Chains A and B, each alone.
With several copies, the nearest count.
Chain A
Amino acid sequence: MAERELTYAQAIYEATAQEMERDPSVFVFGLGVDDPIGLYGTTLDLHKRFGPERNFDTPLAEDAMTGVAVGAAFAGLRPIHVHQRMDFLMLCMNQLVNVAAKASYTFAGAVKAPIVVRGVIGRSWGQGPQHSQSLHSMFMHVPGLKVVAPTTPHDAKGCLIAAIRDDNPVIFMEHRMLYNILGIVPERVYEVPFGKARVLASGDDITIVAISHMVVEALRAKAHLEAEGIYAEVIDPVSLAPLDIETIAGSAERTGRLLVVDNDWTGCGASAEIIAAVTERLQDGRVPRVARLGFAPAPCPTTKPLENLFYPTGRTIATKAHAMVRGGGSDWVPHAAEAAEIAEFRGPF
């Protein structure tokens, strides 16, 4: 039982179904959730199981549908609003940033807005500039919003359950390249609490904090580095707001080096926040060397050769970490094939 494996997508489906089973106020809506694809299987046929009022498609109307989620939440429901891309959240910023984030505070707790906003991060197969963004730092910036970006199937299930039960708006980020990753997922219902980072691998030479799909790349980097005798500690923050700076700073203080790898741009990004917060916190002790890696400072190009250069990879992360540990002059580059999940992806979109 404890050894049962699910994919990340299956874990999301299971969390949703279990919570819908438990709590009749939970419902799912968004473009395509009840179609034959069911958002990569994560919502597949939920309407058949729970009725068409609890898993339904909507018109194309991201802004108003977010307002609908907020209004339904005010009335005691727990909507899960699903978006096929994080990029589309740019259409809902007004409701998310100006309303949902501020409702509890503005009305001194008289209302709450327990909405879960699921957003898929696109990558590979020519997603291009408008279907590949993460943009989580925009949400991390705004008090009143929670932001989670689980990486493992285990955390996907536990974070989604926690998000559904949370009395606040939660942005739940799913990277499409993670959907097919397998991992042990307990069948029982459990919550992964927000604000607790996960140390995925221990090491003494450098701390690598990686976000969302970059965790997978960081683990690849770790393997490359080990061949060189460099031992990296890899930390997955899991939840970005709240952010577990204690764990990260503790590790960075110990290793003396902190490399933050984000699935996003670095400027005013999560990586900037992590480095600033760690630096502020550690200045009376051992100040670590710090560096950031993220998207190239450009919109995401469509053509594959440029897209390959756009993202950090196990290779570029390893090279950067190597230079931080062994000194800047190093021009070591590990041998590495293209990541399978990226190379093999052909859809669905």
Chain B
Amino acid sequence: MGSRSNTSRQHRIDAAASAADGQRQPPVGIAQPGAQADSGSSEHAVRLYRAMRRIRRVEEQIERVYPTDKIKSPVHLSTGQEAASVGVCDALRPDDVVFATYRGHAAYLAKGGNLRAMIAELYGKADGCARGKAGSMHLIDVAAGFMGTSAIVGTTIPQAVGHAFAMKYKRADRVTVAFFGDGATEEGTFHESMNFAALKRLPILFVCENNLYAIHSHVRDRAVEPDLSRRAASYRMPARRIEDGDVLAINAAAKDAVEAIRRGEGPQFIEVMTYRYCRHVGPGGDTVLGYRTQSEIDQWKARDPIAQIGESLPIPTRTMLDAEIEIEIADAFEFAERSPFPGGDELVADVFHG
């Protein structure tokens, strides 16, 4: 296992290196989701742990670097919410496609997005996944099946539906996933999208990451029905709610849903209860603002899904995985540091395509 992950990391670094040369390829590695069957619960746990831990450590590194002003851009960190992205993306094939949001670091990485290209993008550098034009809020890695995210809440939901429509239209057996927050379910476009997806029986999985808040506003102050999965009933869409943020439960639900979708049974909905550890945007906590309590935060941290699954692994395995992750992350940040800023000609490049 150790050797496998080692080799895989090599692949990853190779892929990242080629990205440095301007060739954008999907990274390959064990953090790469899906496709392979679980050859035992331990390998499965390693995969999930590794993917979540990697995201967590990337976010923490961003927090550490942020005060240096090298990332001159808002960052909406996924810290605390890794299980949703990882649990779902682990159930996908590499050619399945994910649409996510400005809080997209976790989904990008979980779906196999290139880490070097992501950090360079945050640094606004020419080797970023969008040459620095996009920043943290608009990550993209088409080769990894991760479509461009949006800073306008809700906009990627109908796009995901459109993508799923295209898959059905082309008779492809690929599944599209739309990740979005609790706040997004209040936007009209969410309903229009759900209705259309149900009507056309599209191969799409809707994943609502309910972290209880839209910025500083609690979900109970935005809806009388706090169980958002119930909204799927209006469209006769199968829905489940995972209450405890447990990655295995999320993963199991996602696998079930994805299989049914791939069988042609139409769209499904999963609501994942989860929790954001940092402030809405930027590094660090925000209890000082007073909109949430330390005890609420503590409760969620007490059942941190990374810690939980980490405990199920032998310490040497974990140590090795952790070390590999640190090396990869250090490499990505160094890569970003070295990468140049885009030239002035980029200012008006690609306004139109082709």
A binds B: yes
Which residues of A line the B interface, CB within 8 A?
A: 27, 31-32, 35-37, 53, 57-77, 79, 87-88, 91, 94-95, 98-99, 103-114, 125-131, 143-144, 146, 167-168, 296-299, 301-306, 309-310, 346-347, 349
Name the segment of B4-12, B189-197, B255-263, B325-333 touching the other chain: B189-197
Known contacts: A296-B347, A304-B72. The answer to whether A57 contacts B158 by CB under 8 A is no
Residues of B within 8 A of A67 (CB): 155-159, 161-162, 189, 193
Query: At the interface, yes or no: B167 with Cβ under 8 Å from chain A?
Result: yes
Asked whether, in the complex, the Cβ of A299 is within 8 Å of the Cβ of B351, the reply is yes
Alpha-carbon gap, A304 to B122, bound state (A): 11
Asked whether, in the complex, the Cβ of A59 is within 8 Å of the Cβ of B223, the reply is yes
Residues of A within 8 A of B349 (CB): 105, 108-109
Asked whether, in the complex, the Cβ of B169 is within 8 Å of the Cβ of A53, the reply is yes
Most chain-A CB neighbours within 10 Å: which of B140, B153, B164, B351?
B351
Alpha-carbon gap, A296 to B140, bound state (A): 24
Known contacts: A72-B165, A144-B351, A296-B347. The answer to whether A107 contacts B130 by CB under 8 A is yes
Asked whether, in the complex, the Cβ of A106 is within 8 Å of the Cβ of B154, the reply is no
Q: Closest B residue to A112 by CB, please name it.
A: B353
Residues of A within 8 A of B165 (CB): 68, 71-72, 77
Asked whether, in the complex, the Cβ of B148 is within 8 Å of the Cβ of A107, the reply is yes
Query: At the interface, yes or no: B252 with Cβ under 8 Å from chain A?
Result: no
Asked whether, in the complex, the Cβ of A71 is within 8 Å of the Cβ of B344, the reply is no
Alpha-carbon gap, A104 to B156, bound state (A): 15
Residues of B within 8 A of A95 (CB): 155, 158
Residues of B within 8 A of A305 (CB): 124, 341-342, 344
Q: Give 1 or 0 for each of B65-80: 1 = CB within 8 Å of chain A CB.
A: 0000101111000000
Q: Closest B residue to A79 by CB, please name it.
A: B162
Asked whether, in the complex, the Cβ of A306 is within 8 Å of the Cβ of B342, the reply is yes
How far does the Cβ of B101 sit from chain A's closest Cβ, in whole Å? Answer: 12
Asked whether, in the complex, the Cβ of B130 is within 8 Å of the Cβ of A75, the reply is no
Alpha-carbon gap, A31 to B154, bound state (A): 15
Residues of B within 8 A of A167 (CB): 352-354
Q: Identify which of A68, A108, A299 contacts B196 (C-beta below 8 A).
A: A68
Which chain B residues in 8-29 approach chain A with CB under 8 Å? 24
Alpha-carbon gap, A105 to B348, bound state (A): 8
Asked whether, in the complex, the Cβ of A59 is within 8 Å of the Cβ of B155, the reply is no
Asked whether, in the complex, the Cβ of A59 is within 8 Å of the Cβ of B353, the reply is no
Residues of B within 8 A of A53 (CB): 169
Q: Closest A residue to B194 by CB, please name it.
A: A64
How far does the Cβ of A333 sit from chain B's closest Cβ, in whole Å? Answer: 15
Asked whether, in the complex, the Cβ of B215 is within 8 Å of the Cβ of A107, the reply is no
Task: Please name the 9 residue pairs, one residue from A and one from B, whose CB atoms are nearest each other, closest first.
Answer: A71-B162, A67-B158, A126-B73, A303-B124, A64-B192, A303-B132, A302-B135, A75-B166, A61-B192
Q: Closest B residue to A109 by CB, please name it.
A: B350
Known contacts: A69-B162, A71-B160. The answer to whether A304 contacts B124 by CB under 8 A is yes
Asked whether, in the complex, the Cβ of A31 is within 8 Å of the Cβ of B215, the reply is yes
Residues of B within 8 A of A125 (CB): 72-74
Q: Give 1 or 0 for each of B118-138: 1 = CB within 8 Å of chain A CB.
A: 000000110011111111111
Alpha-carbon gap, A107 to B156, bound state (A): 14
Query: At the interface, yes or no: B315 with Cβ under 8 Å from chain A?
Result: no
Q: Identify which of A65, A109, A113 contacts B158 (C-beta below 8 A).
A: A65
Asked whether, in the complex, the Cβ of A108 is within 8 Å of the Cβ of B134, the reply is yes
Residues of B within 8 A of A299 (CB): 351
Most chain-A CB neighbours within 10 Å: which of B137, B150, B353?
B353
Alpha-carbon gap, A61 to B199, bound state (A): 13
Residues of A within 8 A of B140 (CB): 107, 110-111
Query: At the interface, yes or no: B281 with Cβ under 8 Å from chain A?
Result: yes
Asked whether, in the complex, the Cβ of A63 is within 8 Å of the Cβ of B158, the reply is yes
Asked whether, in the complex, the Cβ of B166 is within 8 Å of the Cβ of A72, the reply is yes
Q: Identify which of A27, A57, A347 contacts B221 (C-beta below 8 A).
A: A57
Asked whether, in the complex, the Cβ of A302 is within 8 Å of the Cβ of B166, the reply is no
How far does the Cβ of A116 sit from chain B's closest Cβ, in whole Å? Answer: 14
Alpha-carbon gap, A104 to B189, bound state (A): 22
Alpha-carbon gap, A59 to B289, bound state (A): 20
How far does the Cβ of B99 sit from chain A's closest Cβ, in whole Å? Answer: 7
Query: At the interface, yes or no: B316 with Cβ under 8 Å from chain A?
Result: no
How far does the Cβ of B104 sit from chain A's closest Cβ, in whole Å? Answer: 13
How far does the Cβ of B112 sit from chain A's closest Cβ, in whole Å? Answer: 15
Residues of A within 8 A of B223 (CB): 59
Alpha-carbon gap, A127 to B195, bound state (A): 30
16 pairs, A vs B, C-beta closer than 8 Å: A35-B289, A37-B216, A59-B222, A60-B184, A67-B155, A71-B162, A72-B162, A104-B352, A106-B130, A125-B73, A128-B134, A299-B351, A303-B124, A305-B342, A306-B342, A306-B344
Q: Identify which of A76, A301, A347 contacts B133 (C-beta below 8 A).
A: A301
Q: Identify which of B128, B186, B348 contacts A61 (C-beta below 8 A).
A: B186
Asked whether, in the complex, the Cβ of B342 is within 8 Å of the Cβ of A63, the reply is no
Q: Closest B residue to A242 by CB, please name it.
A: B352
Residues of B within 8 A of A112 (CB): 353-354
